[in-house]
Amino acid sequence: MRPAANNHLGNVHRPAAGFSLVEMVVTILIISIATVGISSSLAFGLRHQSDGIWRTKAVALAEAYFEEISARRYDENTPNGGVPACSPTTTSCSTSANFDDGEARGDFDDVDDYNGISDMPPQDATGAPRSGYTNYRVSVDVAYATAAQVTALGLADTTDAKIITIRVTPPGQQDMTFTLLRSNF
């Protein structure tokens, strides 16, 4: 039998398998930067995930107030049914000085009665708190349309239209303002 050939290559240095310390530090640094970026975007998303819900509820609340107000007579001096409409030639309309006729919420019978209310929590037509809106605030302002608005609308007199402004403030959010023009009919 022949002796095996010696295939010894001598003292050639082979690199050790694995990562060097520099490679590990660079990898950890890259992963850390990526983690900070991802966590920041997740935190932003979580912080604003309920904004759509607050806005939707605020719009629904403003619509409920508008429906309630629109169902009332135009003016304290307007007869039931709205005919004849108050005007300088028929029954005089109320002036902004006497919008407050001292009625309780359950007795509101015309648009003007809502001027200046500030409800927290919001109330229904009877004055009872609306469920699901505990920390919401609603304020209402009613004013006659300006001369420029009346002219733009083609109306004859400033008592022919009222601007109803409703501000809804969801908990921890900014005011949302809604405006309605109510004409004298």
Per DSSP, the three-state class of 75 is: coil
**What pLDDT is attached to residue 177?**
95
**What pLDDT is attached to residue 185?**
67
Domain ranges for the chain: 20-47, 51-183
**What pLDDT is attached to residue 9?**
55
Which pair of tokens denotes residue 118? 């500030």
**What pLDDT is attached to residue 124?**
92
pLDDT per residue over 16-69, tens digit each?
677 788 888 999 999 999 999 888 888 887 776 767 788 889 999 999 999 999
Is 97 within 8 Å of 144 (Cβ atoms)? no
Q: What is the spatial distance between Cα 27 and Cα 14, in angstroms, rounded to a whole number? A: 24
Q: How many residues in total does the chain contain?
A: 185
Partners of 140 in the β-ladder: 166
- Amino acid in position 61: L
**What pLDDT is attached to residue 176?**
94
Q: Is the pLDDT of residue 158 over 90?
A: no
Is 168 within 8 Å of 63 (Cβ atoms)? no
Dihedral of CA atoms 36, 39, 43, 45 in degrees, nearest 10, equals 120
**77: confidence class by pLDDT, cuts 50, 70, 90:** confident
**What pLDDT is attached to residue 65?**
95
Using CB atoms within 10 Å of the CB of residue 75, give its burial: 0 to 12 exposed, 13 to 18 middle, 19+ buried: buried
Q: How many CA atoms lie within 13 A of 33 on its CB side?
A: 5
Cα 58 to the center of its chain, rounded Å: 5
pLDDT per residue over 106-144, tens digit each?
888 888 899 999 999 999 988 899 999 999 999 999 988
Instruction: Respond yes or no on whether the N-terminal peptide bond of residue 121 is cis (omega within 30° of 0).
Output: yes
**72-87 mean pLDDT:** 77
pTM, full prediction: 0.69
Of residues 149 and 90, which shows the higher confidence score? 149
Q: Is the pLDDT of residue 153 over 60?
A: yes
**138-166 mean pLDDT:** 87
